[in-house]
Chain A
């Protein structure tokens, strides 16, 4: 989780998923992932349905499946925890590969694994097909306070600058022989963090002064006023509907 944050996942493209208005896309993602999160543990086959829905979306978005899967690995640390679950959970025990594991823990591990993997894949698809500023515009149109999304937009705008600065500091420290192995060698890192804060803050002041000089009145002008059409909202409802259907079908099959 430590590295690679600064590079957004966006992949340039002209697919229907890329072209969809951001508010509809964000709403579609939230509705779909809510369905996934609400899928009961007792109907594991529903997750196969969700995966098919995602695969269709990835196909329509013309994303490379390998790229999506590679980026989905940010969830790995938690998957390690999930693999421990069958061993540490309580309850009835069953035999798997000659080891005694908790049956309930096994079911829980399977469920968390499916939900986490589908959730992170969906997040990657959303981030890969929507520019970060567009995501913020979408959230804003979904009634997230403008102050919040504007702060986030500024953050994204200056992230590259600050991480570049951080990278230069690191190179400077490394080239002077700094190679920390122990906690008590951490002082130069902390001093750099302090220096980075002061530089960031002063940059913020300069940016603000420059913006005021150019007539900034507290709200950012929007360059894209296109709102989601009725058709786009209908399309956006499809993944969540498909997920709901797959839960229903899996429940009926499990009931039979």
Chain B
């Protein structure tokens, strides 16, 4: 996911950079009170935790491993604003101090790996928590599903950025199919690890889980064993549904090898030179049969991402009145250690 320099066009890099900087600025001003003195070392160590968590390689299939991205995990444990800041710090430091990800690619790398996974993931988490019972099991299940979907959301965002800022004439639907397909697999791992990690924190220090602040101790301890199975079934169902949708979509376009064969047969037919088109080149339609579907998915996907990120931002900004309620435990980052 750490894209190098020159992967997307300069315009896309600048645009995503502006969006990322603006969002992180908002998140910083949101957390200014808590970060003023007390939380800075804590946020730093939380960032080190996410950095270390990205080194947790977990098995995906026999032989292959994936690693945690941690955006949704950070948002659920620390809250969306602080979560987004912490993961952004990780991505920026990786680019500057570890040469991982291009410096000019920071705009879209931050957007995809930190902002969309944290805010989008948190919005999904809040949404899913409404579907599950208000207890520890519900939090764990919602964490897992939100984390898995946040990875898919991130790959969807990358595909959309490719639609607007492609540096090569690869059709949008092919990029989307490949990106979302691969990230569905990665998302399963992310879901399992995040759910189990949140569950582990919940059983030892429930006061440290931002996403479960509204629950009492008794509710948190209410974690029937069957819930993990339900979670497993639900996760598999979601993945199967998504995989079906994606495969339907990607199946409409010929794959790379078929494409080569096809084009060899029709090499005389004139094709627009894709590099000659403007900034918002219509790569979605270049040489693709199902252009309407392609554009429809692009539109729906874009709307979905923007809605979820805005919902996450709204949830982050809305906290203020809640914190003032006496008797309510304020955000866990505010409360003193009760352990």
Interface residues of A (CB under 8 A from B): 1-3, 5-6, 8-9, 26, 29-30, 33-34, 36-38, 41, 71-72, 74-75, 78, 84-85, 87-93, 99-102, 104-105, 107-109, 111-112, 114-116, 118-120, 122-124, 126-127, 132, 135, 139, 145, 147-148, 150-159, 161-163, 165-166, 180-183, 185-187, 189-198, 200-205, 207-208, 211-212, 216-218
A190 to B72 alpha-carbon distance, docked (Å) = 14
Is B45 at the interface (CB under 8 A from chain A)?
Answer: yes
Query: Are A196's CB and B49's CB within 8 A?
Result: yes
CA distance A124 to B61 in the complex (A): 32
List the B side residues contacting A100 at CB < 8 Å: 260, 263-264, 267
Can you give 22 A-B contacts (C-beta < 8 A)? A2-B57, A33-B103, A36-B5, A71-B99, A78-B7, A84-B256, A112-B7, A115-B6, A119-B6, A139-B96, A155-B48, A155-B89, A156-B93, A158-B45, A159-B51, A180-B59, A190-B199, A194-B198, A196-B49, A197-B208, A198-B208, A207-B45
**3 shortest A-B CB distances, which residue pairs?**
A154-B44, A194-B200, A115-B6
- Report which residue of B55, B208, B256 has the largest number of chain A beta carbons within 10 angstroms of its beta carbon: B55
Complex interface: stretch among B119-127, B131-139, B271-279, B302-310: B271-279
Contacts of B204 in A (CB 8 A): 194-195, 198
A62 to chain B, nearest CB (A): 18
- A154–B93 alpha-carbon span in the complex (Å): 12
B8 to chain A, nearest CB (A): 10
Does chain A have a CB within 8 A of B219?
A: no
The answer on a CB contact under 8 Å between A115 and B201 is: no
Q: Contacting B167 at CB < 8 Å: which of A71, A92, A108, A207?
A: A108
Does B99 contact A104, Cβ atoms closer than 8 Å? no
Q: How many residues of B contact A (CB 8 A)?
A: 97
Residues of B within 8 A of A211 (CB): 41
Is residue B171 contacting chain A, with contact meaning CB distance below 8 A?
A: yes
- CB of B62, distance to nearest CB on chain A (Å): 5
Question: Which residues of A are found within 8 Å of B180, using beta-carbon distances?
Answer: none
| A87 to chain B: closest residue by CB | B256
Contact B337 A202 (CB under 8 A): yes
Known contacts A90-B271, A193-B197, A197-B77, A116 near B102 by CB under 8 Å:
yes
7 further A-B pairs in the complex, CB-CB below 8 A; given A152-B89, A162-B52: A90-B271, A120-B99, A123-B99, A193-B197, A194-B196, A204-B42, A216-B37
Q: Chain B residues near A148 (CB, 8 Å)?
A: 24, 28, 85, 88-89, 92
Docked complex Cα distance between A6 and B135 (Å): 37
Q: Does B95 contact A (CB under 8 A)?
A: yes
**Inter-chain contacts of A139 with B (CB < 8 A):** 96
Give chain A residues whose Cβ lies under 8 Å from the Cβ of B208.
197-198, 201
Closest residue on chain B to residue A185 by CB atoms: B59
Q: Which of A135, A145, A187, A200 is close to B49, meaning CB atoms less than 8 Å apart?
A: A200
CA distance A110 to B38 in the complex (A): 49
Which residue of B41, B47, B55, B174 contacts A207 across the interface (Cβ within 8 Å)? B41
Set B47, B196, B205: member contacting A151, Cβ < 8 A: B47
Collect the chain A residues with CB atoms within 8 Å of residue B339's CB.
202
B329 part of interface (Cβ distance < 8 Å):
no
CA distance in complex: A217, B85 (Å):
21
Cα–Cα distance between A36 and B103 once the two chains are bound (Å) = 11
- Bound: A106/B47 CA distance, A: 40
B256 in complex: contacting residue of A88, A202, A203, CB < 8 Å: A88
Interface centre among B5, B38, B201, B257 (most CB of A within 10 A): B5
Provide the residues of chain B in CB contact with A124, threshold 8 Å: 99
Decide: A147 and B264 in contact? CB cutoff 8 A: no
Task: Find chain B residues with CB under 8 A from A37 CB.
Answer: 5-6, 10, 13, 102, 104
Which residues from A are CB-within-8-Å of B317? none
9-residue interface stretch from B185-193, B242-250, B318-326: B185-193
User: Could you say which of A6, A90, A217 contacts B55, with CB atoms under 8 Å apart?
Assistant: A6
The answer to whether the Cβ of B170 comes within 8 Å of any Cβ in the partner chain is: yes
Q: Given A37-B6, A91-B169, A155-B45, A186 and B55 touching (CB < 8 A)?
A: no
- B263 nearest in chain A by CB position: A93
> Using Cβ atoms and an 8 Å threshold, which residues of chain A touch B40?
147, 150-151, 154, 218
Q: How far is the CA of A219 from the CA of B339 in the complex (A)?
A: 28
CB distance from A64 to the nearest CB of B (A): 15
**Bound CA span A119–B6, Å:** 8
In chain B, positions 65-80 with a C-beta closer than 8 Å to chain A are 65, 67-68, 77
Given A154-B47, A197-B77, A2-B67 contact (CB < 8 Å)? yes
Bound-state CA distance A105–B337 (Å) is 56
Q: Are B44 and A151 in contact (CB under 8 A)?
A: yes
Contact A200 B48 (CB under 8 A): yes
State whether A186 and B196 are in contact (beta carbons under 8 Å apart), knowing that A120-B102, A201-B205 are contacts in the complex: yes
A204 touches B45 (CB 8 A): yes
Give the distance to chain B from A209, nearest Cβ to Cβ, in Å: 9
